[in-house]
Structure 1
Amino acid sequence: MVKARPRPAVNGVASADRVLTVLTAFQVGDAALSLVELVERTGLIKSTIMRLMVSLENHGFITRMADGRYQLASEIMRLNAVYQEGLDLERHVMPRLHYLSEQSGETASFYVRHGAYRMCQYRVNSSHRLRLNLQPGDMRPMDEAAGAQALRAPYQVGIALEKPYYSCGATDPHAASIALPIYGAQQELMGALVISGPASRLTADTADTLKDVFFDTARELMRSLGFKSAETKPTAVAPGTAAG
């Protein structure tokens, strides 16, 4: 049985920047952090962190565990719920889909993972008469189509892509698509940005000409969703190309 350590008898109000420095030291996958780990991640001295933790614990942001480590508390969850409720995803996504459709001449969509399927959540159809007939709410399999590949991409792979995922004939023998994963404020996968069209028009060469505008739009969308890239850029990874 772990013996509970006494709580530090310190008081004081920390400056906002130091409070935020401590809170942002917690990363995805951290169950709890020790005082030593917090010192290493923040560059602050132990006594300062201990004073910060008293204030944060009093306001419900931090819980001090019996072994002396710290973990995020319920107030963080409450604020996240408020944030998620207030986040109007459509407002962020739709202008980018209209832009991509105009720039590419093809259909632009936003897909989300839905169990064993991928669901078209938002869509702006191509002005061409020859186009794919899908609507928001339609389900597609998690096959080797570009959108499905993007929705399966681990975070470290997704942010290091040099080229969008490209597929031709993966779901429909006459269709091709390119896709990029989209991440949110907590580096969580929000969905996949997809440009799709007839394989006769959206060839691999055509897809390559759209690469820059596609990446720029995806990064702009992620920034609007609160995403902040890591300080250290991972080694670039080239995606696999699905066979048609």
Structure 2
Amino acid sequence: MELSSDIWNTEDSSLQREPDAERPELETRHALAVRDRQQVAQRRPAGPSARPGTPVGVIDRAAAVMDAVEGGARSFTDIVRVTGLSRTTTHRLISSLEDHGYLFHVGGLGYALGPRLLGLATTAMRELPLRELAHPALERLARTTGESAQLFVRDGDRRICVDAVDSEHELRTIVDVGAVLPLTQGSAGKVFLAWGPAVERDDMDRLAQQLATTRRRGWADSFGERAPGVASVSAPVFGPGDEVLAAISVSGPASRIAPLRAKTYAPAVIQAAREVESALGA
């Protein structure tokens, strides 16, 4: 159910983020690590760009091949077309990536991402500094609201759940750690879009009013967008320079997080986001 922004005209201005002048200027290692990861993911080119034969050039080309099959298995010809690499170079890279378990051949479908990447992804999730530092705030948020709480980071035009604490209710929402979701569905996605580049917001005509409301009040809500009967409330986790490092959310059945009750969850979600910022030194 989509809501008119008029219903929120009474939002509490105390929920707004404090002025930037009051925020410490020191960028910690943890904040920088997460910020740099997001910047690299958002700026990563579609194809290789470094000089041929250099170590970085080889890595760029291998990354381009893996990016080409990120959405599903592709044939050799498709990979050549998408990456713009020569057939000889593509064949050499695919063979090497197969040997290391980063790609595998799927019968007549072509090549897909290999199981070795799953192990690396699991390790990365476990060792991500943001996740470790944010977990206490996530647990408190779940305990305070009684609903499931999640932490998301942005990866290009998607968001990834890097931590979650499930509600103790029998009827609850569960978002698996590692789940990849679109930015255009759910309150956490709105957070990333609302504080994203202006040109990006302008392209989202359907969400333009909602994103403007999200920025004004400092939090976002969602009702049945990601899945029927599921509602959520999210707030941004800011780093140095007002960059959104992550989005923290509570989600649950729409019967418990009804539209008129959503803003009662907002203070707890915003408080959790500020706690994460404090832990990061942002």
AA aligned to 1:216 is Q
Show CA shifts across 1:33-60 (max 9, x none): xxxxxxxxxxxxxxxxxxxxxxxxxxxx
More helix, by proportion: 2
Q: Per the alignment, in what secondary structure is the counterpart of residue 210 of structure 1?
A: helix
Matched, 1:223 2:278: yes
Matched, 1:197 2:197: no
Aligned pair in 2 of structure 1 residues 83, 210: CA closer, same or farther (>3 Å)? closer
What corresponds to 2:95 in structure 1?
none
How many Å separate the matches in 2 of 1:197 and 1:81?
A: 30
Unaligned runs of 5+ in 1: 1-78, 228-244
Matched, 1:207 2:262: yes
Task: Please tell me whether the aligned partners of residues 132 and 175 of structure 1 are also in contact (alpha carbons under 8 angstroms).
Answer: yes
Q: Per the alignment, in what secondary structure is the counterpart of residue 192 of structure 1?
A: strand
How many Å separate the matches in 2 of 1:82 and 1:192?
A: 14
Matched, 1:84 2:33: yes
Matched, 1:139 2:180: yes
How many Å separate the matches in 1 of 2:147 and 2:182?
A: 21
Aligned pair in 2 of structure 1 residues 142, 176: CA closer, same or farther (>3 Å)? same
Unaligned runs of 5+ in 2: 1-27, 35-126, 199-211
Offset, 1:221: 1.7
Question: Which TM-score applies when normalising by structure 2?
Answer: 0.47
How many Å separate the matches in 2 of 1:159 and 1:92?
A: 25
Offset, 1:188: 2.4
Task: Please tell me whether the aligned partners of residues 158 and 180 of structure 1 are also in contact (alpha carbons under 8 angstroms).
Answer: no
How many Å separate the matches in 1 of 2:135 and 2:167?
A: 14
Q: Per the alignment, in what secondary structure is the counterpart of residue 129 of structure 1?
A: coil
How many Å separate the matches in 2 of 1:165 and 1:129?
A: 25
Q: Per the alignment, in what secondary structure is the counterpart of residue 240 of structure 2?
A: coil
AA aligned to 1:167 is S
Task: Please tell me whether the aligned partners of residues 148 and 166 of structure 2 are also in contact (alpha carbons under 8 angstroms).
Answer: yes
Offset, 1:158: 9.8
Structure whose alpha-carbon radius of gyration is higher: 1
Task: Please tell me whether the aligned partners of residues 123 and 136 of structure 1 are also in contact (alpha carbons under 8 angstroms).
Answer: yes
- Percent identity, aligned pairs only, is 29
Higher RCO (CA < 8 A, seq sep 6+): 2
Q: Per the alignment, in what secondary structure is the counterpart of residue 111 of structure 1?
A: strand
Task: Please tell me whether the aligned partners of residues 117 and 140 of structure 1 are also in contact (alpha carbons under 8 angstroms).
Answer: yes
What corresponds to 1:233 in structure 2?
none
Show CA shifts across 1:154-201 (max 9, x none): 279799542521110111011000111111134322111111011111
Aligned pair in 2 of structure 1 residues 113, 209: CA closer, same or farther (>3 Å)? same
Matched, 1:113 2:154: yes
How many residue pairs get aligned? The number is 151
How many Å separate the matches in 1 of 2:173 and 2:180?
A: 14
- 4+ runs deviating over 4 angstroms: 79-83, 155-160
What corresponds to 2:191 in structure 1?
150
How many Å separate the matches in 2 of 1:124 and 1:131?
A: 11
Aligned pair in 2 of structure 1 residues 188, 169: CA closer, same or farther (>3 Å)? same
What corresponds to 2:234 in structure 1?
179
Aligned pair in 2 of structure 1 residues 185, 102: CA closer, same or farther (>3 Å)? same
AA aligned to 2:260 is D
Q: Per the alignment, in what secondary structure is the counterpart of residue 252 of structure 2?
A: strand
How many Å separate the matches in 2 of 1:87 and 1:170?
A: 28
Offset, 1:202: 1.0
